[in-house]
Amino acid sequence: MRPIQATVHLSAFAHNLQIAKSRAPKAKVMAVIKANGYGHGLLNAALGLKGADGFAVLSLDEALALRSAGYQQAILLLEGVFSADELEAVSQHHISIVVHSDAQIDMLLNAQLPHPVSVHLKLNTGMNRLGFVPAQFSYALARLTHCTNVANITLMTHFATADEALGIAHPLALFNQVTVGLDLPKSLANSATILRFPEAHADWVRAGIMLYGSSPVATETAASFDLKPVMQLNSKILAVQTLEAGDSVGYGHQFTADKKTRVGVVACGYADGYPRHAPNGTPIAVAGKLTRTLGRVSMDMLFADLTDISDADVGAPVELWGTQVPVDAVAQAAGTISYELLCAVASRVPVKVLD
């Protein structure tokens, strides 16, 4: 069996959830566990985050899997229903839905449901992805208010720049202006907003990447927020090559040694979810010591510099990311974000769950 393995630490989930609760003590926490729990496994994430007040997912199948597993918390479909025939199951299993379009309101108005459905009405405050623009919002709210298939309404938006220097001042002011006088629950804050902007915590916060132990803010480390990594991606050294000055390694000879260099061949590649575009120098740990990757990532293998780790040989343990190597550091080196790396872990990588 190939030695690569992802380990999911449930205690880290619980710790990070507590950070979210402590940052927003007056709000309920909705744990975002879409995309197969950001690559950690939907039910693994739900188990680790069982103390959350609710879960947010993308698809009805995910919501039904949570209900089948016995979770009774609020469950929210972040893009709502995709067709009218999903409303029956939504109603039957008491699943909440985001409403972001007139078509979805039409579905609710025309449906015959066993129970009214809780909805989150989405205002577009500048993301320009989903939601009603301010001029359409009051009419959408009126239609939902008079719909017998709607149980209650929460007002929501999503901030496009909560993780950047621009912040949320303008979209928050717009949201407050559009919703002034409306005595309804509100859901505004993603992870970056939870950690940076307490004025926008409102009634519900939607914690995402922070629950997985990654920083939502590029200029701040996860450790600076006291977040703990949930996933460790580990493997081992398969072989060791010794390069002389002028020798190269890997496809395209992307690394050429300028001195005698020991190279460890690691059992992990882009087919396992490691980024192919990670350059020379991406951080990696071998035998408990930090080092760097060399050369181009292959489908099933990549290369680590063992020159200064004399005791590392075939079978030496490797951490691709986790406690020694933050996933954010790998993502930054590869020119991407941790969300992509975590979600991209391949199904062929076995997952071990630890308390």
Catalytic residue numbers, as ranges: 34, 251
Q: Are 263 and 280 in contact (CB under 8 A)?
A: no
* CA angle (293, 299, 301) in 5-degree steps: 40
Element (H, E) at 156: strand 150-156
Map residue 234 onto helix, strand or coil. Answer: strand
Candidates 69, 8, 24, 10; CA nearest to 205 is: 24
Candidates 211, 213, 202; CA nearest to 32 is: 211
165: CB partners within 8 A, 6+ apart: none
* CA angle (105, 111, 117) in 5-degree steps: 70
Cα torsion 7, 10, 14, 19 to 10°: value is: 0
Alpha-carbon distance 73 to 266, whole Å? 42
Please give the structure tokens belonging to residue 28: 């309920």
